[in-house]
Structure 1
Amino acid sequence: MIPLQLVLKNFLSYREANLDFSGLHTACICGSNGAGKSSLLEAITWAIWGECRAATEDDAINAGAKEVRVDFTFQCNQQTYRVIRTRQRGQGGSLEFQVQSSNDFRSLTGRGMRATQQMIIHHLKLDYETFVNSAYLRQGKADEFMLKRPNERKQILADLLKLSQYEELAEQAKDASKQYKAQAEQLEQSLLSIEQQLQQRDAIALQLSSVETQLSELQQAQTIDNSKAQGLLAQQHQRQTFEQQLSFVKQQYQNLNQDCDRYRQEIAATQQQQRQLENLLQKEDEILAGYANFQGLQIQEETLTSKSQAYQDAQQQLGKLQQKLSEQINELNLQLRQEQGQLDALRQSRADIQQILSRTEEVEAGLQKLQQARAYLSHLDQLQVQVAPLAQRRAQVQTELDRVQARLSARLEELRKSVRDLQKQQQRQPKLQETLQQVEGQIQQLDKKRVYQERVHEKELHQRSFRDRLQANQREWENKLTELAQKLQLIQNPNSSCPLCDRPLDEHHWQLVVQKTQSQEQTVQDQIWDVDGQIALCEYQLQTLTRELKEISQELANYDALREQRGQLAAERSAMAEIQARLQQILVEKEQIERSLSANDYAPDKQEELHRLDQQLQQLKYNEQDHALARGEVDRWRWAEIKQAEIKQAQRRQAQIDAQQPELLAKIAHLRSQIQQLQVNSDLSRQIEALNQQMAEIGYERSQHDTLRKALRQAQAWQFRYQELQQSQQQYPLVRQRSQDLAQSLEMRSQDLQQMTSQMDAIVQQLQQTPDTKGELRDLEQQIHQRQLLQNDHQRQLGSLQQQQQHLEQLSTQHAELKNQHVTTQRQYRVYQELAQAFGKNGIQTLMIENVLPQLEAETNSLLSRLSGNQLHVQFVTQKAGRSGRSSAKKAAKLIDTLDILIADARGTRPYETYSGGEAFRINFAIRLALAKMLAQRAGTALQMLIVDEGFGTQDAEGCDRLIAAINAISPDFACILTVTHMPQFKEAFQTRIEVYKTQNGSQLSLMM
């Protein structure tokens, strides 16, 4: 991948940016920390793979913006591509992929972002993980590979080589081998069971002949009894018909009798209503007189109501006028009170002013004291101006001395703690060795448990497979039982048709079909019971195996923790020698710091400066306490200035009061005269007097009106009596006619009752002539039923025996098929077992790592020789000698898988931690670059672009020169090399630079060539 152009809009710290890579071969991206150098590179990974350092997708959008867009154009495999990725805040995004065709771009975008992403990876032959572990040396990740443990390095290398797919294949092969093994064992059991069942053929044939003879005899006797039962059943049906007719007639007789009773009750109720209406009609004259009196009282009440309305209107108008007059008087009273209040306030203010003016002499004496205090304070302020810089410098020097002492004390405490920790670690060495031996023994015991767990798990899988087959057989038998039950239901009637050929069945064939079906039903039921028992036994065995697996899993719960503990203990044991040397160094440094603190000989220049500043401060004789007392004296006499201002303000205020008082007295007198005029001689007072005379002329009395209303309420009952009289006059003819109609209906129902009685006597006579065969028929049916049960039992035995014969024939065929399946399954088991070993860690994976490491070592040393002037050399070791833990007497040497990196220089082979920061970075840089080339080659693409983000700060001048020389040396291998740094001296080594700087409008960049 060769970059051509990058266009940014609102990506991370960038608002608008455009970078043209044309003509760039080796360039440096430089700028201060936080300017946006790494963001420029992450824009490339976000555009192509949608990956960057942002925690969420919206975090890639510049703060304050609503959307982000990155347009990246690059060249790959002689083709020019363009990727455009956008996203809106809080919403979705879009991804476009284009390829250049002639002078324009043609779209390769798929359906959806996921399909488009797969299209991009397909054309680049490079995913994100391979890119960041090959072409992109990210900031702070250079030493990640070297700082890992040997076994972790090997795992990282396996991950980079994507060997996990072989691990997945190994697991799949193991699962398949276990399945085929379980199938083979299951087939063996099935074959053994079938062979045992085939030995029962002769005994089943003899039982079948005997059952067929007994069944024929039972069917003949059953035919005779069925004919006799048919005749008795016909007689019983005739008797039941007469009984039903008698019951029906009795029901009709009962209904007629109830109708007669109902008519009698209605006639009595109608006659009672008729008598009540006649009594009301006899009081007609009395009701009419009372109603006339009620109407007269209504007329009188309407007259008094009109007078009451006129009186209330006048009374309401009078209230409004009185209220209006009160409001005007109240308003004038309010103004009067306000003016009176102002006059009282002026008098009170005058008294207060006289009190203030009485302190004039005291205030003048205070002002003289204030002037004297301010003169002394000014002298102290001038001294403070001279003392302040000296005191500030003294505080700074004292602070610096305190910091030095604090750093030394902190370092001393840190060294003491380190000494205690290292001594404790040394004391742990015997216990560490003992713990390591104990952990080794526990791991060996748990390894045996793991082997046993695998065997129990295989047994569980076999039992589960056997249970599933039993459940499938159970469902088949249950379906067959349902079909037989439906078949029996179809042929319950002797005159029904055959369920197979749909032809009519005679009595004999119907019984044969029924008996055969019932026999088959019983056989199926027996098979279901048998399968139920086997399933229950299988479930019990599964529960036992599951419980045992759970117990073993609990015992193995700390297996991984023990293995990790063993590794940690071994590493601690190896580190004990380093602890002793480090302890000696720390003790020497600790004694030096203790001597410096006790003799107080640290920072001598600062202590000398502190002594000189103290002498200068003593000569000035400035006292902060005197200065504070002077400020307090000024504050104490400052009240005189305030009081002087108050006296001047009081004099002005007294002159104003003397001018306002006569005007307020005149206003108060005028308001009092207005109030008196409103009360005696005004339009409102005259209107009120007129309304009082009008109310007297109306002459309305409320007591008289209340008496009339009471009499009207008492007479209102005659209105209801009058309405009842009118209704009675209308209802009386109808009630009399209703009484006559009910009497006629009662007479008709009585005649119908006499006819029903005659009909009931005739039916009873017919019943006495028809014999009751119920007892005889019941005995005969019981006999038929018992014989039928015996016949069904024989039918079930017959069907069961026939079914067993057919089943044995099927088993014979199945036996041959299962033998062939068993041979095939055994062969598949052996194949997948070998595949599991081949795909495992000790198979293809180990072989691939062994083949890759020589290439990686050669490429690393080639690069390292350029960086170090042939001074450094690395070697990858995948196996080392170890000892077996089986016996203390015989410790045979063995090889342990590892991935150690041995580093050698002119002084020999040394640990990685002993090399300086610059040397370590060169080693890391060489290994990472070699890994990058190897991963790019394995991905099927050439590594045309290299990005080195920071890491040059650890190099001295010579190291920087070598690193720059190495980059220039490998530049022919790449089409584009980008380095990122914030060091000014390093960026000058590159002719082409991309300057990145921060502005108020976000990060900006400029290209310098």
Structure 2
Amino acid sequence: MIPVQLILKNFLSYRETTLDFSGLHIACICGSNGAGKSSLLEAITWAVWGQSRAVAEDDIIHSGAKEVRVDFLFYSDRHKYRVIRTRYRGQSSSLEFQVETPQGFRSLTEKGVRATQSLILEHVKLDYETFINSAYLRQGRADEFMLKRPNERKEILAELLKLHRYDELEERAKDLSKSFRAQADQLEQTLQSIATQLQQQEAIATQLAEIEAQVNQLQQEQAFDEIQLKSLQVIRSQQQNWEQQLSFLKQQSQNLTADRDRLQQEHLAIESQLAAVAEILDRESEIKAGYQHYQNLLGQEEEFSAKFQEYTHAQQQRTQLQQQLVQQVNELQRQLQRAEGQLVILQQQEQETQQALSKSAEVEAGVLQLAAARDRLANLDRLQLQVSPLIQRRNTLQAQIDKVQARLTAKLEELETQQITLSQQQSTQSQLQQTATEVAVQIEQLEKDKVYIERVREKGQERRHFLERLQEQQREFEKQLGEVEQKIQMLSVPDAVCPLCERPLDEHHWNRVVDKTKEQKRDTEEQFIVVREQLVVTETEIQELRRRYREVAQKLTQYDALREQRGQVIAQLSASDELQSRLEQIAAEKQHLERSLAQGDYAADLQTELNQLNSQLQQLNYSEESHALARSEVDKLRWAEVRQAQIKDAQKRQAQIIARQPEMRTQIDDLSQQIEQYQVESECAKQIAAIASRIDRIGYDPDRHSALRTAIRQAQAWQLSYQQLLSAQEQYPQLEQRSRDLAAAVQARTAERQVIAVQIEEVIQKLEQSPNTTTESQTLESQLAFRRRQLDDRLSQLGRLQQQSQQLAAMQAQHEQQQQQLQVARRQQRVYQELGQAFGKNGIQALMIENLLPQLEAETNQLLARLSANQLHVQFITQKTGRSGRAAKKNAKTIDTLDILIADARGTRPYETYSGGEAFRINFAIRLALARLLAQRAGASLQLLIVDEGFGTQDQEGCDRLIAAVNAIAADFSCILAVTHMPYFKEAFQARIEVVKTQNGSQLSLSM
């Protein structure tokens, strides 16, 4: 594929641009990062294959645009093609494929994008994956092959060679092998069943011979009886013929009698009709005169109908014009009403503004009061700023003094409590001794309870851990039951597959899987029930342990209090000697505190400062109540400001209303005058007057027309009488002839009836002379019916045995056929089993890689020699010797791998030890060699090479060699495109495609 021209519209960063590749052999696509260099290459892949780096299909459309279009011209196999791919945002793509002919481009587009895409692949001979792995060296993928582990390199090489198709073939071969194996097993079971049934063939043949002999004997006896019965049946048949003849003659006689009666009735009816027709013919002149009068009335009605139509048409026109006139007048009246309504609204607004302006004096007074109140409030605000720190300090001092007083009071109360307590202790020494003993006993018992509760706690923890394990087992069993239920549901569906391997199941394997699944369900349910019972028991034990723990814990709540009580009692007992001196000391301290509280001589400095602050506050004379009243007065008077603003707005509105009222009155007068003139002088009014004159000229009288219609309805009877007259004139001769014919027919029927009566007498005499064979015939018929049932039974047995014999013969043929099918199935199983091994990793795939690697190695070294001045050489190793176990030397084995050995002037070293420039050259050589081989395998020649790699790892010498290598391989390609942002590398190319990103999208400039 050799590019010729690329036209872009709204593709990624491009708005509208055209790139002409004519004359370009080696070119550099250069520009800053993000300018849109790679987007040009993505446009080629999207146009030809419909694929790009964009995640969503609409992402290729330029931001803000609704459609994208790429028009790409290229040469392939000496033909010039054109691909036009278009997409609208949120819709599907369209694809056009053309080929150049001497008469211009001819369309090759198929029905549908998919069919057209397949046709493009046939002509280009490269799919998308082969192109990006051959002709298109994409950015950031140069070292993808080298950085993988040796075993992963083979997977990548297999992917590039599209060996995954052989994996699919391997799976298909394995599936077919399993299918034929299952078919062969089924055939073997069927053959065994058929062989068992064929063993009954001899017994059925013997029974068949016996039944055939019995059938022959019964058929002979049945034939003899049937001959005798037929002779009796001949006599009986003659008697039946006479009986039928007698019945026929009697029926014929009855028919002739009925026919004669019918003809007589018809003759009477015809005579009556003749009388009625003669009466109509007598009124002939009267009927004709009445009919002529009716025709004259119809002529007059036609004239009135014509006038009526013209009159109705004129009335409709006048009605339409009157409606049109009313609508136009109504529209003017609506405009007049709107104008009058607007005038009324303006007058109401004028009254409202007058009311608002009438209170302007009151509002001005309120504004002055508001200003005075605000001045007072400002003075109080300033005074508050001075007073607030003093009040805060006074409150602080008062709080501190109150705290000192509270401490002294509390101290006094404490001393009084101590005094009372010490006095009581002094009097209760014996009681303290007894209490100490009792408390010691209680503490000893509680310490035993502490040991017991610790054991209960440990037991509870052990039970809780056991309960958690049981709950985990319960959840696991519930999960297993859910999975088993799901398997059972899957197996209950018709044509179910195996839940594990998803392979089709025959009836035998289906039963085995169902039984095994149900057995698994029963085992799981039994284990689940055991776990649930253990859960119930364990929860009961935990509840009991908790109850015991709460009881003992409730007792232990007194432990600390008892210990504290014991300490207090012991301390009281040990301090009995000091009680007296302590009581005297408390009494003295108590007296001092009472005197201080009574005289108030505590916190002297604080009280002095508090007195000074009180005097300052009295001099300032600030009151919170006055301040609050001033604020409320300002709030009350704020309405004046609002009213003042409203008055200003009212003054503006009043000026506008006064200016607009004359205009509205003028508009109202104009509309009233237009209405009066329109009703008389308009074109519509004139047309109405003209139509009224035309109606008068028509001269249509509805009353006369109505009277004429009444006369026509009354005269319609003459039309019916006239039609009856014409019918009577036509029917009278026919009725006379019919009357004569009916009289003759009555006489003929009477003669025929007499002849038939004679024949009936003759047949009755013959029947009386014939013999009676009914009893003998019935006896023979009974014998024949009984023997026929026996014969039917034997024939049924004979048919069943013959059917079984035929089935066995068919089964014999089926047995032979299925034996052949079994041989074919076994042979097919072996064939597909061998094909599965051949298509596997160690079969054709390994062979293809082994055949490809020498070509890849030779091609890589040829390119690498150009890039490194014959300093680098690679070798591909596909197998190596490995060691396993302790006996390494004895158990040496061969391992499949894909190691790449790289040698330079210093020897063979790992790939990771080479510098960035050297590593890139190695990657570039391997990748280019792969590209050539992949293109050859696809059946296409590699005429286009795109290098979209970063060259930042190359020093100046490496870049020179890379450029030299590109120039050296230039003869192998028709077009080479290199993408870079490095100025030095850019300058090395004579042909450059500069890409610059602007506000209007990316722009191109070509320099040669």
**TM-score, structure 1 as length reference:** 0.46
State the structure with more CA Rg.
2
- TM-score w.r.t. length of structure 2: 0.46
